[in-house]
Amino acid sequence: METAGRAARIDFKKFFGDFCGVLRSKRGDIPAILVFGVLLALDLRAVLRSARLLMPLHFLNSVVFLNGVLMVGYYAMLVGIYLTRSVAGVTTRLFLAKAIAFIATFLPFAVPMLSDSEPAGEINLIVSSLLLFFAMIFTVVALGSLGRNFSLIPQSRKLVTRGPYRLVRHPVYVGEILGALGLTVWAASIAKTLVFLLLVGLEVYRALQEETLLREVFPEYEEYAARTKRFIPGII
């Protein structure tokens, strides 16, 4: 019994040393880990609060709750990816490409903060909630397919063509655009519409920069791009 007890003890010194080693190797990713960790905590708190509104069961409340659960899963995946992903083979040197990638990632958060032209009707709320729901499902599935190859800025690790990447070349960006559209529809205004259009332009630029990098690194990307549309299957 004494031997088993000793074996079960945790070597905190080794654990702390390993943890510091991970932090040193991930020092470039720490800002992203902290940001996504905070968003994860905030969304988790919001989900726990919204769980109390599920009874009596209502369609809109249920969709909002599921959207929150998907958001929690999304940010948890991002934290896990940034903690475990490998070093990028090639990273873009363009400061503009890096800056736009960060702006496009967090710009949707500005949409709910803009003043509304008028309160949203029930149809707006239903359409908005459904758009957000399908956008989150698509984004989470795409992120799962991308796995540890994900990055906010244009980088190369591995060419992924499975899952949603068989349908479009940039499913994560498609999900972000659909999600922003859902936030805009929730209570539309001129300001929100302009921000949404700006986001679309930024995502297009972001996709083009990413493709330029991938073409330089992966010779097979040209064939993949020839058979797979950027954003809408069979159209664009």
Q: What is the 3-state secondary structure (H, E, C) of 46-80?
A: HHHHHHHHCCCCCHHHHHHHHHHHHHHHHHHHHHH
- Before 233, cis peptide (omega within 30)? no
Q: Tokens 């470039």 label which residue?
A: 28
For 19, counting Cβ atoms within 10 Å of its Cβ (0-12 exposed, 13-18 middle, 19+ buried), the class is exposed
Q: Is 29 exposed, middle or buried (0-12, 13-18, 19+ CB in 10 A)?
A: middle
Q: How far apart are CA 185 and CA 225, in angstroms?
A: 32
pLDDT at position 116, please?
A: 59
The structural domains of the chain, with segments of one domain joined by +, span 20-84, 90-236
Q: What pLDDT, on a 0 to 100 scale, did the predictor assign at position 173? A: 96
Q: What is the pLDDT of residue 209?
A: 96
How many other CB atoms are found less than 10 A from the CB of residue 123?
9
Could you please state the CATH topology (level 3) that the domain comprising 90-236 is classified under: Four Helix Bundle (Hemerythrin (Met), subunit A) (1.20.120)
pLDDT at position 6 is 46
Residues 6+ apart with CB under 8 A from 187: 116, 117, 118, 119, 120, 124
Query: What was the pLDDT predicted at 122?
Result: 77
Q: What 3-state class would DSSP assign to 10?
A: coil
Distance of CA 179 to the CA centre of its chain: 10
CB atoms within 10 A of CB 183: 23
Per-residue pLDDT of the chain (236 residues; tens, 9 = 90+): 444 444 445 566 665 555 555 555 556 678 888 899 999 999 999 888 888 777 776 777 788 888 889 999 999 999 999 888 888 889 999 999 999 999 999 998 888 777 655 556 778 888 888 999 999 999 999 999 999 899 999 999 999 999 999 999 999 999 999 999 998 888 778 889 999 999 999 999 999 999 999 999 999 999 999 999 999 998 98
Model-wide pTM > 0.75: yes
Distance CA 24, CA 28 (A): 9
